[in-house]
A and B are shown apart, each in its own frame.
Chain A
Amino acid sequence: MILELHVRNHPGALSHITGLFARRAFNLDAIFCVPERERDQSVIFLQVVDEPRLPQVEKQLARLYDVLSIRQRPDLGCEFFANLAAAASPVSTA
């Protein structure tokens, strides 16, 4: 499952969000983050495991002060991050 978050953009925001996964023992498989608006916000896409604890993950993320909104993006398939990675590394090292 991919989650879409809109967050305040400042140097600590990402460590609040990624740190939460480690300390609550959730899995985070992939992350993509870009500034938006006047660079005062960022949009973050997180690929997480669709497990029974997912609602708890979302609630924990939602209560972070820097997280302004959160929603599931079931329309973005698991190839979303693979495509991004492929686009960023067009040259094969093989």
Chain B
Amino acid sequence: MKLTGAIILRTLLERQGIRILSGMPGGANLPLYDALHESHIQHVLARHEQGAGFIAQGQARATGRAAVCLATSGPGATNLLTAIADARLDSIPLVAITGQVPQALIGTDAFQEVDTYGLTVPITKHNFLVRSARELLEVIPLAFEIAESGRPGPVVVDVPKDVLQASIEVSSWPVPGKGQPTPPCADAQIDELARQLHAAARPVLYIGGGAANTRAAASLRQLSQREDLPSVCTLMGLGVMNADAPLHMGMLGMHGLKGTNVLLNEADFIFAIGARFDDRATGKLAEFCPSATIAHVDIDPSEIGKNKKAHLALIGDAADVAERLASRMETKRRPEWRDRALELKRQYPLHAPADEPLHPVNVIRALAASLPGDSIVTTDVGQHQMWVAQAYPFSEPRTLQTSGGLGTMGFGLPAAIGAALAAPGRRGLCVSGDGSILMNVQELATLAEWNLPVKTVIFNNANLGLVRQQQQLFYGGRYSASRLDKAPDFAALARAFGIPACRIDRDTEDPLAALREALSGDGPCVVDLQIHETTNVYPMVPPGAANHQTITEPAYA
């Protein structure tokens, strides 16, 4: 049977089990869109290719499986770059399929030609430029296998238009690509980790995004309880531990609670799992956990010793290591260390003024109280993101989606759309800011079209808040280009897209009740929430400083 490259590509995606994909058509990928017209795959038309990339990320972050986005050549491909780079830094499996000008025109500066292959080399796990329709049969399954195997990541497949149009004989289909299991590490290494952890007097469990799955979470929770082992999470690891667990100390690092960073400073043993000793987590590296032995578990060998020397290194899947470790640990009580952790939590709570209902920390707690525990929360980037990380009581892995590594403003809304598409029946909350929301605001049209249960709450302080905060604290109060004057009326803007919206401010009678009311409906809604312009995220470790050099709320220090 003779089939075109476009039909072959579509069929391969169907065989991969892809049900929903996002994208935007254009000249170079029109043959693929023509083939999709006849498919049971549902296509989500984003209003900007970056939106399509983050919708796919929202699907992938919710399920752990590779999701697909499409873009045409030239600007379509360049618009995807930010979402691809973002997936790379947060290890998200993504297959981005871009149109390319016909091969005869490659290198001629043709209309909408850009070197997508060259542009995506440094921001992908791997990338392909497909040179024939026949190659699609090998490349597409391989793209999914690479995206999902080991440490996940984005794969770009650049497909010239003539490859989509060529017809070839196809007699059999390849096996769909899927993640290949990582070889388990040796029993002796697990035994050694168990022995050292058991012998430690002041151990801390340091959890990153690599452990963000239910199997790893169950074992790590068990381990923490049985061993009196306090835990900290990176931004990407939040939800692996139950936020309410007595010995869970929340997020570490730049905006971690002071007690959390103090505890790490006193630790004699760090059990790092699926974490990469990123600068936002460690602060000044030389002074991070200065007296601790470091045991580092990671699926990626290049992470071992990249930033911090590991005394004991295990290469393997976090869930596998955690399960095997938990199965051989005996109960150990460390009453002094446990008391020290509890004392530090009591001594340095998160500041939440009771007389200020619209203080961001109070708002986030109110949001959490009115949503089920399995709701998926996405954020944009800035102060609101850190308040969510500090105050939202995540209790399940993969319930927080946030741009941790790249820190991309504009992530939250399209990611929430993708999460809602991938996890029907669960509630979605996008916490954004008045700066971030405008960076992909066009996706409100996509949200309205699909009528998904995504509630967007814009923390509006008329500033690029985290920039303003740093200018206040570290640049002598010289507020350069951080004030967002002439902000739109966000509620009116959302209604213009056909989405119900409201504004809540200090004059609103019972603002938290109004917030609960806004969250209660089944469809989307947007809340423009006016917060105080000068409220800062505390505590804060100045960039480049050690984590024990925490700045706390001035009135509260």
Rounded to whole angstroms, the CA-CA distance of A62 and B303 in the bound complex is 12
Q: A12-B121, A15-B118, A23-B122 are in contact. Are A56 and B129 (CB under 8 A)?
A: no
Per-residue CB proximity of A5-44 to B under 8 Å, as 1/0? Answer: 0000001100110010001000000000000000000000
Q: Is residue B302 within 8 Å, beta carbon to beta carbon, of the partner chain?
A: yes
Q: Which of B122, B129, B304, B306 contacts A19 (CB 8 A)?
A: B122
On whether the beta carbons of B302 and A65 are closer than 8 Å, the reply is no
B7 shortest CB reach to chain A, Å? 25
Interface size class of A (residues with CB under 8 A): 10 to 19
Q: Is residue A69 within 8 Å, beta carbon to beta carbon, of the partner chain?
A: no
Rounded to whole angstroms, the CA-CA distance of A65 and B154 in the bound complex is 13
On whether the beta carbons of B302 and A63 are closer than 8 Å, the reply is yes
Q: A12-B127, A12-B129 are in contact. Are A62 and B301 (CB under 8 A)?
A: yes
Contact residues in B for A11 (Cβ distance below 8 Å): 129
Task: Give the number of residues in B that approach A within 8 Å (Cβ atoms).
Answer: 15
Contact residues in A for B117 (Cβ distance below 8 Å): 12
Rounded to whole angstroms, the CA-CA distance of A68 and B304 in the bound complex is 20
Per-residue CB proximity of B17-55 to A under 8 Å, as 1/0? Answer: 000000000000000000000000000000000000000
Per-residue CB proximity of B106-126 to A under 8 Å, as 1/0? Answer: 000000000001100110011
A63 shortest CB reach to chain B, Å? 5
Contact residues in A for B133 (Cβ distance below 8 Å): none
On whether the beta carbons of B126 and A65 are closer than 8 Å, the reply is yes
Q: Is residue B146 within 8 Å, beta carbon to beta carbon, of the partner chain?
A: yes
Rounded to whole angstroms, the CA-CA distance of A55 and B121 in the bound complex is 22
A55 shortest CB reach to chain B, Å? 7
B242 shortest CB reach to chain A, Å? 33
Within 8 A of A (CB), among B188-209: none
Rounded to whole angstroms, the CA-CA distance of A56 and B310 in the bound complex is 13
Q: Which of A19, A56, A63 contacts B121 (CB 8 A)?
A: A19
The A interface is mostly helix, strand or loop, or mixed, namely helix
B517 shortest CB reach to chain A, Å? 50
- Closest chain B residue, CB of each to CB of A53: B306
Rounded to whole angstroms, the CA-CA distance of A56 and B129 in the bound complex is 28
Q: Is residue A60 within 8 Å, beta carbon to beta carbon, of the partner chain?
A: yes
On whether the beta carbons of B127 and A56 are closer than 8 Å, the reply is no
Residue of B127, B146, B301 ringed by the most chain A CB atoms within 10 A: B301
Contact residues in B for A23 (Cβ distance below 8 Å): 122
On whether the beta carbons of B305 and A55 are closer than 8 Å, the reply is yes
Q: Which of B121, B146, B300, B302 contacts A15 (CB 8 A)?
A: B121
Contact residues in B for A66 (Cβ distance below 8 Å): 126
- Closest chain A residue, CB of each to CB of B300: A63
Q: A12-B127, A12-B129 are in contact. Are A62 and B302 (CB under 8 A)?
A: yes
Rounded to whole angstroms, the CA-CA distance of A62 and B315 in the bound complex is 14
Rounded to whole angstroms, the CA-CA distance of A19 and B117 in the bound complex is 13
Q: Which of A15, A56, A62, A65 contacts B306 (CB 8 A)?
A: A56
B503 shortest CB reach to chain A, Å? 45
On whether the beta carbons of A59 and B301 are closer than 8 Å, the reply is yes
Contact residues in A for B304 (Cβ distance below 8 Å): 59
Rounded to whole angstroms, the CA-CA distance of A12 and B121 in the bound complex is 9
Contact residues in B for A19 (Cβ distance below 8 Å): 121-122
Contact residues in A for B127 (Cβ distance below 8 Å): 12
Within 8 A of A (CB), among B492-528: none
Contact residues in A for B306 (Cβ distance below 8 Å): 56, 59
Contact residues in A for B126 (Cβ distance below 8 Å): 64-66
A8 shortest CB reach to chain B, Å? 11
On whether the beta carbons of A56 and B305 are closer than 8 Å, the reply is yes
Within 8 A of A (CB), among B114-162: 117-118, 121-122, 125-127, 129, 146
- Closest chain B residue, CB of each to CB of A17: B121
Per-residue CB proximity of B287-301 to A under 8 Å, as 1/0? Answer: 000000000000011
A17 shortest CB reach to chain B, Å? 10
- Closest chain B residue, CB of each to CB of A16: B121
Within 8 A of A (CB), among B83-120: 117-118
Rounded to whole angstroms, the CA-CA distance of A74 and B126 in the bound complex is 30
Contact residues in A for B302 (Cβ distance below 8 Å): 56, 59-60, 62-63
Contact residues in B for A55 (Cβ distance below 8 Å): 305
On whether the beta carbons of B301 and A63 are closer than 8 Å, the reply is yes
- Closest chain B residue, CB of each to CB of A55: B305
A46 shortest CB reach to chain B, Å? 17
On whether the beta carbons of A65 and B125 are closer than 8 Å, the reply is yes
Contact residues in B for A16 (Cβ distance below 8 Å): 121
Rounded to whole angstroms, the CA-CA distance of A12 and B124 in the bound complex is 13
Rounded to whole angstroms, the CA-CA distance of A65 and B121 in the bound complex is 12
A56 shortest CB reach to chain B, Å? 6
Rounded to whole angstroms, the CA-CA distance of A59 and B125 in the bound complex is 14
On whether the beta carbons of A65 and B146 are closer than 8 Å, the reply is yes
Contact residues in A for B129 (Cβ distance below 8 Å): 11-12
Beyond A63-B300, A66-B126, 10 additional pairs, beta carbon < 8 A = A12-B117, A15-B121, A19-B121, A19-B122, A55-B305, A56-B302, A59-B302, A60-B302, A62-B301, A63-B301
- Contact sample, A vs B, 20 pairs, CB 8 Å cutoff: A11-B129, A12-B117, A12-B121, A15-B118, A15-B121, A16-B121, A19-B121, A19-B122, A23-B122, A55-B305, A56-B302, A56-B305, A59-B304, A59-B306, A60-B302, A62-B302, A63-B302, A64-B126, A65-B146, A66-B126
Residues in chain A within 8 A of chain B (CB atoms): 11-12, 15-16, 19, 23, 55-56, 59-60, 62-66
- The 10 A-B pairs at the shortest CB distance, nearest first, are namely A59-B302, A65-B126, A23-B122, A19-B121, A60-B302, A63-B302, A59-B301, A16-B121, A15-B121, A56-B306
